[in-house]
Amino acid sequence: MPTIKNMLARKVFDSRGVETLEIDIITENGFGRVAAPFGAPGSRGKFEVPAYSPEGLSKCNDFKT
């Protein structure tokens, strides 16, 4: 299984201009990028993951390998 070597989180804007989260993950075997869309307006069902707090982005970059 690949080992995560580094991770970088940043704010980006979705197609509606809403801030969302994008993360780059660097492993010993390569690179991947993921984005977490904000979701549909009003979509807050009981299985929905809670939104990250405003300081959540800076805390993401405190990830330790």
CA 59 centroid distance within chain: 11
Q: In the prediction, which pLDDT does 28 show? A: 92
* Helix/strand/coil percent split, the chain, to 5: 10, 40, 50
* CA-based nearest residue to 58, from 6, 10, 7: 10
CA-CA distance, 2 to 12, in Å (whole number)?
27
Kindly report, residue by residue over 2-55, the tens digit of the pLDDT. Answer: 898 988 888 888 888 878 889 899 999 999 999 877 666 666 677 766 666 666
Q: In the prediction, which pLDDT does 38 show? A: 66
The encoded tokens of residue 65 equal 């390998």
Q: Which residue has the higher pLDDT, 26 or 65?
A: 26
8 A C-beta contact, residue 10 and residue 60? no
